[in-house]
Amino acid sequence: MATFCLAGALLVTSAALVYTITDDQNSSPNASADPSPSIWQDSRPRADPEPVEPTSPTPSRPAGFKIGEEARNGGAVVTINKVWETESITMAGVAKKAGAGAKYVILETVVFNDTKASMDLTCGLPIVNNLLDEEDRRYDSIDDLYEVAGNPECNDQLQPGFKEEMLFVYRVPKDAKVMAWEFSEYDLTSDQEPSTIELRSV
């Protein structure tokens, strides 16, 4: 009987000792938590972004044409055959001088109507045009082009599919150096960029 009681006491003491050791381990401040994050994070170093090459700007103006070449803008097709300068022109059968410090620049052209309607080259506005000099100044053609000898008469409609010779005349300063001619088909429904014919060889 005494032996049984002693064995029981030893068993209880051992159990208490095991519990104490286990409890000390669980409450240790050095115990690490289970590393199980809910979101995976990439700890790899990020590569520096590669530089992006700048793109070249898109030209806002159509490529230039040369004298003698057929230049197109919309349905207006113009070929400049010759450019010359003079101090006077003939209008309505009378010589008209450019005046002091001025000169006339004349463009001999052929206009082809590739639109769906007729063109009045001298009294209408089928072709918007400007003469440019080396300072990028823009000159308008003179008034009453229908009075210039050799030009179509006023209201002489150039029908679709036909071509006509046309003189564009400009009054500019005598020392101006013309460089180019711009033109575009007159169209209220769109913002048409002008086409350019280079005149540097003049």
**pLDDT digit string (tens) for 65-116?**
999 999 999 999 999 999 999 999 999 999 999 999 999 999 999 999 999 9
Flag whether 139 is in a domain.
Answer: yes
pLDDT score, position 187: 77
Q: What is the widest separation between alpha-carbon atoms in the chain?
A: 156
CATH no. for residue 92?
A: 2.60.40.1240
Q: Tell me: the pLDDT tens digits for 158-167? A: 999 999 999 9
- Of the candidates 63, 158, 152, 181, the one whose C-alpha atom is nearest the C-alpha of residue 112 is 158
In sequence order, what are the beta bridge partners of 104?
Answer: 86, 171
Flag whether 91 is in a domain.
Answer: yes
Flag whether 145 is in a domain.
Answer: yes
Q: Tell me: the pLDDT tens digits for 1-43? A: 444 444 444 444 444 444 444 444 454 444 444 544 444 444 5
Flag whether 35 is in a domain.
Answer: no
pLDDT score, position 157: 95
174-198: average pLDDT: 90
Flag whether 150 is in a domain.
Answer: yes
Flag whether 48 is in a domain.
Answer: no
Q: Domain residues for 104?
A: 70-198
pLDDT score, position 78: 98
Task: Give CA–CA dist 139/152, Å, rounded.
Answer: 22
pLDDT score, position 125: 81
pLDDT score, position 124: 87
Q: Is residue 165 within a helix (H) or strand (E), and if so which, with residue range?
A: strand 163-173
Confirm whether pTM is higher than 0.75. Answer: no
pLDDT score, position 63: 56
Flag whether 109 is in a domain.
Answer: yes
Task: Give CA–CA dist 144/164, Å, rounded.
Answer: 17
How many domains is the chain built from?
1
Q: Tell which wins on pLDDT, 27 or 119.
A: 119
**111-121 as b/e: b if 16+ CB within 10 A:** bbbebeeebbb
Q: Tell which wins on pLDDT, 21 or 143.
A: 143
